[in-house]
């Protein structure tokens, strides 16, 4: 357990009182921050040894749920989340947080769910600003064409999507190029 905002690069607006580093099978730690009552920040980071200290109950519960998620025993996180942003962003984040393990939706579907059917680009922007990696599962929101948008193939979003939906490894492979001289 650590104190303060240091693990979040100063990009956190909330007063992070305690953090915990949770090792993941992705080769990265999930660093989770709490203000004492809510989860207010989470970010994937290079693994490093954390000082051993007693974590508050909320961060112990977050650690337990993250471990259950990576063991494929958790369909959806059930933690108090501190969501601060525009009313539209908060509505998008709440809608996406309700998605279950492996459930995939498009940006347009999220836009319709929050009552703004033409705001698919706004949904994409909101997902890009989410302060809660994994707890707001941006990896479950994809383009209407079925592709992950705004993320490189080896990105956290792409890796989480493959973790939840391993069958996607077989999809979207580029076709072999024919030799022009044939």
Give the tens place of pLDDT for each residue, 92-133. 999 999 999 999 999 999 999 999 999 999 999 999 888 899
Which region among 81-85, 86-90, 109-113, 178-182 has the lowest average model confidence (pLDDT)?
A: 178-182
Over 70: is that where the pLDDT of 37 sits?
Answer: yes
pLDDT tens for each residue of 124-180: 999 988 889 999 999 999 988 887 777 777 788 889 988 998 776 554 444 443 444
> Residue 54's pLDDT is what?
78
What average pLDDT does range 52-58 have in this prediction? 83
> Over 50: is that where the pLDDT of 181 sits?
no
For 87-170, CATH gives: 1.10.10.10
pLDDT at 172: 45
Judge whether 143 and 149 are in contact, CB under 8 Å: yes
Whole-model pTM?
0.82
Q: Are 16 and 8 in contact (CB under 8 A)?
A: yes
The structural domains of the chain, with segments of one domain joined by +, span: 6-70, 87-170
């Amino acid at each position: 357990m650590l104190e303060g905002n240091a693990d979040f690069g100063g990009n956190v607006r909330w007063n992070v009182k305690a953090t915990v580093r949770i090792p993941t099978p992705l080769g990265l730690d999930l660093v989770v921050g709490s203000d004492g009552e809510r989860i207010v920040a989470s970010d994937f980071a290079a693994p490093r040894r954390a000082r051993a200290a007693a974590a508050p109950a909320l961060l112990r519960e977050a650690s337990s749920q993250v471990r259950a998620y990576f063991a494929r025993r958790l369909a959806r996180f059930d933690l108090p989340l501190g969501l601060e942003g525009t009313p539209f962003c908060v509505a998008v984040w709440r809608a996406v947080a309700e998605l279950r393990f492996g459930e995939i939706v498009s940006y347009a579907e999220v836009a319709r769910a929050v009552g703004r059917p033409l705001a698919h680009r706004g949904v994409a922007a909101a997902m890009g600003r989410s302060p809660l990696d994994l707890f707001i599962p941006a990896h479950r929101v994809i383009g209407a064409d079925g592709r992950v948008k705004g993320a490189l193939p080896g990105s956290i979003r792409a890796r989480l999507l493959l973790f939840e939906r391993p069958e996607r490894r077989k999809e979207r492979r580029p076709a072999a190029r024919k030799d022009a001289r044939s």
